[in-house]
Amino acid sequence: MMNKKHIQHLYWRVGFGMTPQQLHAISKLEKKQVVDTIFKASKKITPLQVDIAELESLMTGSAESMKKSIKDFQSLSREKTRELNIAWIDRLTDSEEQLREKTTLFWANHFVCEDNNFIYTQKFHNTLRTHALGNFKDFVIAISKEAAMTKYLNTKQNKKQTPNENFARELMELFTLGVGNYTEEDIKESARAFTGYSHDLKGDFVFRERQHDDGLKTFFGKTGHFNGDQIIDIILENKQCAQYICQKIYRYFVNDTLDETHVNQMVDVFHSDYNIEKLMRFVFLSDWFYDEKNIGTKIKSPIEFLVGIKTMVPLEFNNPKQLLYLQKLLGQTLLDPPNVAGWKGGRSWIDSNTIVLRLKLPSLLLNNAYISKAKEGETDKTADLQKAVFKKKFGKRFSTSANWGYFNSQFKDVAISDMENYLLVSHMNESASKYLNSLAKVSKQEYCVQLMSLPEYQMC
């Protein structure tokens, strides 16, 4: 049987935590059975889509009417992007395909891209979802031909007479090899291989042969009439590609601090066939994944933090735009990356402003901004008055409906004194423990908010 703490650790890495009833349901399984269950649930690929019929109709008019509708199209694209953001948060919270969704989130910050045409944006993110646990070579090739990416990194402008090196540079620097593992000449030569890449109005890939440079190219010491797919082949032959990807996966799913021995084990698995699922299985089945140094030592990203709260206590924003505003305040808005390199992660998630907001957020979202601070043995007579004051002050900014009924059903068999073992992954320090013990445990709901308001809840 698997150690319960290890199961919780695994589920924070492959998803966003788990409730006591979910934990109890699988706690008698062996490690391989638990891991198999996770991968089996993510075999299915469910595209995430919002209605784009109105956008499509704006794209199918005459050239004259399309010119007039550009502003309408852009405005509607922004609206649909907001819709997809909210739908993605809901999917992250509720999907049975937890690992596929978590890896999609990871790859969205690896193959960073954004576009002002929502049709292309939605298509791009479903390509991430489709390949998230597939073959990395097929993944890179698919990304190189996505309409959103050909626009974002200027491959559409990459023509035989006027090569554009943006995509070729980022392909190696950010997507496959990392800084310093190629030459400027490699960039120039590979850029020629990607000439002629374009797309039609629907966002489907189009290869414009007349704009393609079919001449001899020398890349990484090899010479031939290479096209884009062949350049990607040559890049992946280099073990540095497997090293670079495994390091990123280790930092995201295991620990911000690399363990070279473990990363090298991952590289040996990955470089043989670039099978992402096989690599992830190896990681989750490795004994070292469950080492104490890897448990509760990663700072939750804003999305992990928000979705983690919603996993324990489902909540809805009465004004969905407040959810977008909150992501902005916390420093991570889905579908709106800061730059081509994406979010740095790790310690960069926390600064003096975001930590204050994070510590207040559970009470803002779940308890009308009120945390019971009555000492053990006292009655909290001012609770109703203070709740009213807090609601007046913060209610407009974050008006939510929390499903405490679900929480109560999930925690019905958990003693209030045992709740921290289900809500906190990292060890509680002595001062936090003393503080909590001094408070009156009025109810499981109050105690849940108190636990979520600790610095330890920021870790996973």
Looking at residue 173, its pLDDT comes to 98
- Cβ neighbors of 159 (< 8 A, separation 6 or more) are 195, 196, 211
Report how far residue 22's alpha carbon sits from residue 195's, in angstroms, rounded to the nearest whole number.
51
Q: How far apart are CA 147 and CA 113, in angstroms?
A: 10
Ordered by start, the domain boundaries in the chain are 302-458
Beta bridge partners of 400: 317
Which stretches within 145-238 are classed as H helix? 147-152, 166-170, 184-193, 228-237
Question: What tokens appear for 96 in the block?
Answer: 């049975």
Q: Are 374 and 380 in contact (CB under 8 A)?
A: yes
Q: What is the pLDDT of residue 356?
A: 93
Q: What are phi and psi of 246, to 5 degrees?
A: -65, -35
Q: Rounded to the nearest 5°, which phi and psi values hold at 198?
A: -155, -165
Please report, for residues 7, 89, 133, 422, 448, the alpha-carbon distance to residue 106 in angstroms, rounded to integers and kept in the order given: 21, 14, 11, 25, 29
Please state, in angstroms and rounded to a whole number, the distance separating the CA atoms of residues 278 and 264.
15
Handedness of CA 260, 182, 342, 348 (dihedral sign): positive
Predicted pLDDT at 330 = 97
Q: What is the pLDDT along the chain (460 residues), one digit of tens a residue?
A: 899 999 999 999 999 999 999 999 999 999 999 999 999 999 999 999 999 999 998 888 665 666 668 889 999 999 999 999 999 999 999 999 999 999 999 999 999 999 999 999 999 999 999 999 999 999 999 999 999 999 999 999 999 999 999 999 999 999 999 999 999 999 999 999 999 999 999 999 999 999 999 999 999 999 999 999 999 999 999 999 999 999 999 999 999 999 999 999 999 999 999 999 999 999 999 999 999 999 999 999 999 999 999 999 999 999 999 999 999 999 999 999 999 999 999 999 999 999 999 999 999 999 765 555 555 555 555 555 555 555 565 556 788 999 999 999 999 999 998 999 999 999 888 877 777 777 766 789 999 999 999 999 999 9
C-alpha to C-alpha distance for 347 and 427, rounded to whole angstroms: 19
Per-position DSSP letters for 229-243, written without gaps between them: HHHHHHHHHSHHHHH
pLDDT of residue 260: 98
Q: Please, how many CA atoms are within 13 Å of residue 229, restricted to the half-sphere of its CB?
A: 4
Could you give the C-alpha distances from 339 to 39, 336, 407, in angstroms and in order? Answer: 32, 9, 38
Give the H or E element holding residue 224.
strand 222-224
Which pTM value belongs to this model? 0.94
Q: Residue 431's pLDDT is what? A: 79
Q: What is the Rg, in whole angstroms, of the alpha carbon atoms belonging to the chain?
A: 24
Nearest alpha-carbon partner for 229 in 139, 152, 169? 139
Phi-psi region of 332 (alpha: psi -120 to 50; beta: other; left: phi over 0): beta
Can you give the pLDDT at residue 427? 85
Let me know: does 419 contact 451? Beta carbons within 8 Å: yes
